[in-house]
Structure 1
Amino acid sequence: MDDVRRTLEEWINADDDKCRQLLVTGFHGLFRAYKDEYYRKVARSADLWIPDGIAPVLLARLNGLKGVERTPGMDVMKMYMELANEKGYSSFFYGETRQVLDKMKENLEKDYPNHKIAGMYAPPFKAVSEEEDEKIVGMINDSRADIVWIGLGLPKQDIWGYKRKEQLKAKAVIGIGAAFGFIAGEVDRCPDWIGKNGFEWAYRLAKEPDKLWKRDLVEAPQFLWHVFLERTGLKKYE
């Protein structure tokens, strides 16, 4: 986590105008990248990729990468908020509902009073047109936020960041999934001991079965099957 903190601070203080992209994903993102060529391009273009989940950590270790640790997106966001509270950095939040954003704003202002909330936007429950999307980018740029947090769900949040980072004036764009709901208190986060033992997925599945059953009960076994094929040499992957 210290490396992530250092990297974000370097990005924020960089002299260039580049908006960098940080991807935070577990097996779901890896499996999506396998199935979807465009998302694979998105993932490969990221400036930094963080394993949010035990599956990518174990896969990295199986492939000889040592020192890889599970780094939940919520922990990344909390670390940044602590840093921003020290340094006065700012954020723009794009995603979720107005109710969630308002509650998140209330909690962030209470816990991190020196962190600046530059702006928030809850998208409509319909497809956003190109013109509307351009206005959202303009809104974010006008806010002069250091970091843009996207809570649109995977893969939408990462694809949006990939498509718009060349236009964004922020220093980084980060898709953060369920973290908005966690901070707002709308979604319960699993106890630390469950997460550290690799079972956050089971805890969240029990809490949100309608939302997560397909991902965890259909796609997860398929992902494990492809890992088996790769490890046994029965199939090669890019």
Structure 2
Amino acid sequence: MTVEATQDADFAEVVNGADWVATDGVPITWALNMQYGIEQDRIAGFDIMSDLIRRAAEEQLPILFYGSTPDVLNVAVANCRELHPTIRIAGTFSPPFRPLTAAEEEAMISFINQSGARLVFVALGCPKQERWMAHMRGKIQAVMIGIGGALPLLAGTQGRSPAWMRNAGLEWTYRLAMEPRRLFKRYAITNSFFVFRLTKELLGR
């Protein structure tokens, strides 16, 4: 997401305009420390989602999942209810793999607002989910939170890397090993570009 924002001014505006941006990545916390001396912990998307679901169950706040496939959503909801029997699921919405028409978008907005959801977990992947939430600001009457790859973890369709790998900033290697064809090009390019830009900025200082 950081690399995407450095290459796309419109996306940078979307990220910088968000109400809350979390450091979901150990290299980002390292960069903050090296550049600004900020001691920032990693805030993983899966941990945010898990904690908010727990709090929502305790406070009886209805939640809704937007994105992914119907199968993944069904399993995620079932796991939510098993972990938190008091959770209130306002609904799920699996959009098609194409832009919604104006009529479909209006129907989707109406569905979410009428569901009574207070938290909407958005799992469309970066940068699509960030753009979608920015576009929906003021239209959807709920707090929207981008969770990206956290939903498959909740559904159990993907495993989470060991804690030592996450703490060492090596979670990307685990994900790459699980999905080499899909992620090789992305990681090879974005990781290299991130290191290049960080090094350039540090030398400039």
TM-score range, shorter chain: over 0.9
Structure 2 residue 146 is matched with structure 1 residue 175 = yes
Aligned-partner Cα distance in 1 for 2:18–2:35:
20
Question: What secondary structure, in the 3-state scheme, does the structure 1 residue paired with 2:36 have?
Answer: coil
Counterpart contact for 1:100–1:181, Cα < 8 Å: yes
Distance change (3 Å), C-alpha of 1:65 and 1:147: farther
Counterpart contact for 1:150–1:175, Cα < 8 Å: yes
Counterpart contact for 2:32–2:39, Cα < 8 Å: no
Counterpart contact for 1:84–1:114, Cα < 8 Å: no
Unaligned runs of 5+ in 1: 1-28
Taking the TM superposition and a 5 Å limit, the aligned residue runs for 1:8-23 are: none
Structure 2 residue 183 is matched with structure 1 residue 229 = no
Aligned-partner Cα distance in 1 for 2:81–2:48:
18
Match of 1:149 in 2: 121
Unaligned runs of 5+ in 2: none
How far did residue 193 of structure 1 move?
1.8
Match of 2:9 in 1: 37
Give the structure-2-normalised TM-score.
0.96
Match of 1:203 in 2: 174
Aligned-partner Cα distance in 2 for 1:160–1:215:
21
Aligned-partner Cα distance in 2 for 1:131–1:191:
44
**AA matched with 2:201:** E
Counterpart contact for 1:154–1:177, Cα < 8 Å: yes
Counterpart contact for 1:73–1:176, Cα < 8 Å: yes
Counterpart contact for 1:151–1:157, Cα < 8 Å: yes
**AA matched with 1:68:** Q
Give the structure-1-normalised TM-score.
0.83
Match of 1:18 in 2: none
Q: Over residues 142-175 of structure 1, what are the superposed CA-to-partner deviations in whole Å (9 max), with x where a residue is unaligned?
A: 11111111111100001000011111111x1111
Taking the TM superposition and a 5 Å limit, the aligned residue runs for 1:1-238 are: 29-170=1-142, 172-233=143-204
How far did residue 74 of structure 1 move?
0.2
Aligned-partner Cα distance in 1 for 2:40–2:58:
27
**AA matched with 2:173:** A
**AA matched with 1:144:** G
Distance change (3 Å), C-alpha of 1:118 and 1:65: farther
**AA matched with 2:91:** G
Aligned-partner Cα distance in 1 for 2:20–2:37:
16
How far did residue 65 of structure 1 move?
4.2
Aligned residues between the structures: 205
How far did residue 116 of structure 1 move?
0.9
